Structure 1
Amino acid sequence: MIDNWFSKSKLRNAIKKVAHKLFLGRISANQLTIVGLILGLICALTIFLSEILPWRAELIITASVLMALSFFVDMLDGAVARLEGPTTFGGILDMFSDRIVEISIILALVSTNISSLAFPGLLSFASITLCITIFLAIGAAVNDLQLKESEKVIYYSKGLMERSETFIFLLFLTIFWSVRFVLLWLFAILVFITAIQRFRVAYKLFYKKE
């Protein structure tokens, strides 16, 4: 949803200009992806330490800043990739890094209160797995099927929980630690709904063609 809005907004053009001026020819999109991955992993470690060390507030603020930086770098690597010309490996690396960061942060959040967050955390992972599986299955099937351009638009339509929505939820889960149980349940439900949306896309694309 937000990603769809962003793709048509002036903000995307502004980020593209920043990427062109500061990074193009100096650092590759893949290198930026690795930087974003490292920032995300440090963020997860900081969240984990926030429940162990006596500086919870300071560590939560630090983790939130690191998460925002990781997300911003993720947007920059996409802008640089479009300027350089996207590659298959670059797309795979970007998706792999995004999922590693998300999983690491959720694990860190669950570790702060395992007794109450373990079950909604497990459901979150199950929903993410289902969502990714159906997305990749549709992608593989689309490559094997000759579709009209108008039909491809259906496949690339945005779901309820995309990258930006996930970032916002993870940020809220980090900041508002007193309601993590409720937020994690809500996150799991929304990701599951996104998986159902993508399954409906599969039905529209393939069922009537068989």
Structure 2
Amino acid sequence: MLDRYAINIIRSPLKLMSDLLDGQKITANHVTVTGFFIGLFALPMIALQWYWWGLFFIVINRIFDGLDGAVARRQGITDCGGFLDITLDFLFYSMVPFAFVLSDPDSNAVAGAFLIFSFIGTGASFLSFAVMAGKRNIESPVYKQKSLYYIGGLMEGTETIACFVLFCLFPDYFAPIAWIFGTLCWLTTATRIWAGYHTLKD
């Protein structure tokens, strides 16, 4: 829901950074993979209940995720780059709640499993529609710069990042936040299924 506004805010600083990286012959795929491996450090940090360090690595990962798109738009968007970006994104998204489950299994296990379950819904509805839209050459009217059709919803990337930040700032409240966010993700999944089905049917 907020992605279209967040993109406008971060576009200029990301462009400046992408100009510097492009001069160093660093590709968008380099940025994607580097950001993913940096983000993996959030797993042990959160599992050890070092939540501020976990937040640090989450933020770095998300900066790299925005930066790889800026570099790609400068150097040329590719299918392999888009595939790599979205795959590693979804792995990272599922890793964060798993890390909180490891940090306190007794309190967080069920809520964390529910949140990962909800991510399957948002991810499946997002990607399956993108495949079908690609077959029909349907372009997104809002996210034209994306390598695949980016179908929006109530809960998108910006909201997910905000949720992860709340997890790290208020780890004792992981379970209620996860239940609320997971429920909103299922509302997103339902609206995407409805909109995607009728778009493709028409």
TM norm structure 2: 0.88
CA distance in structure 1 between the aligned counterparts of 2:39 and 2:9, rounded to whole angstroms: 26
Equivalent residue, structure 2, for 1:64: 55
In the TM superposition, what is the alpha-carbon distance from 1:156 to its structure 2 partner?
4.0
Equivalent residue, structure 2, for 1:169: 163
Cα distance per residue 1:46-92 (max 9 Å; x no partner): 10122xxxxxxxx2211111111111111111100110101111011
In the TM superposition, what is the alpha-carbon distance from 1:107 to its structure 2 partner?
0.6
Q: Determine which of 88, 91, 94 is the counterpart of 2:85.
A: 94
Q: Which amino acid aligns with 1:168?
A: A
In the TM superposition, what is the alpha-carbon distance from 1:179 to its structure 2 partner?
0.9
Cα distance per residue 1:26-55 (max 9 Å; x no partner): 2111111111111210011110122xxxxx
CA distance in structure 2 between the aligned counterparts of 1:187 and 1:110, rounded to whole angstroms: 16
Alpha-carbon spacing, 1:190–1:10, altered in 2? closer, same or farther (3 Å): closer
Q: Which amino acid aligns with 2:3?
A: D
Is the 2:101–2:108 Cα contact (8 Å) retained in structure 1?
yes
Is the 1:134–1:199 Cα contact (8 Å) retained in structure 2?
yes
Is the 1:41–1:105 Cα contact (8 Å) retained in structure 2?
no
TM norm structure 1: 0.85
CA distance in structure 1 between the aligned counterparts of 2:136 and 2:52, rounded to whole angstroms: 48
Pairs within 5 Å for 1:61-140: 61-140=52-131
CA distance in structure 2 between the aligned counterparts of 1:11 and 1:72, rounded to whole angstroms: 10
CA distance in structure 1 between the aligned counterparts of 2:184 and 2:44, rounded to whole angstroms: 26
The yes-or-no answer on 1:18 pairing with 2:6 is no
Aligned residues: 195
Equivalent residue, structure 2, for 1:6: 6
Structural RMSD (CA): 1.8
CA distance in structure 1 between the aligned counterparts of 2:17 and 2:23, rounded to whole angstroms: 13
The yes-or-no answer on 1:187 pairing with 2:181 is yes
CA distance in structure 2 between the aligned counterparts of 1:146 and 1:108, rounded to whole angstroms: 38
Equivalent residue, structure 2, for 1:28: 27
Larger radius of gyration: 1
The gaps in structure 1 that reach 5 residues or longer are 51-58
CA distance in structure 2 between the aligned counterparts of 1:144 and 1:19, rounded to whole angstroms: 31
CA distance in structure 2 between the aligned counterparts of 1:157 and 1:104, rounded to whole angstroms: 23
Q: Which amino acid aligns with 1:89?
A: C
Is the 1:106–1:121 Cα contact (8 Å) retained in structure 2?
yes
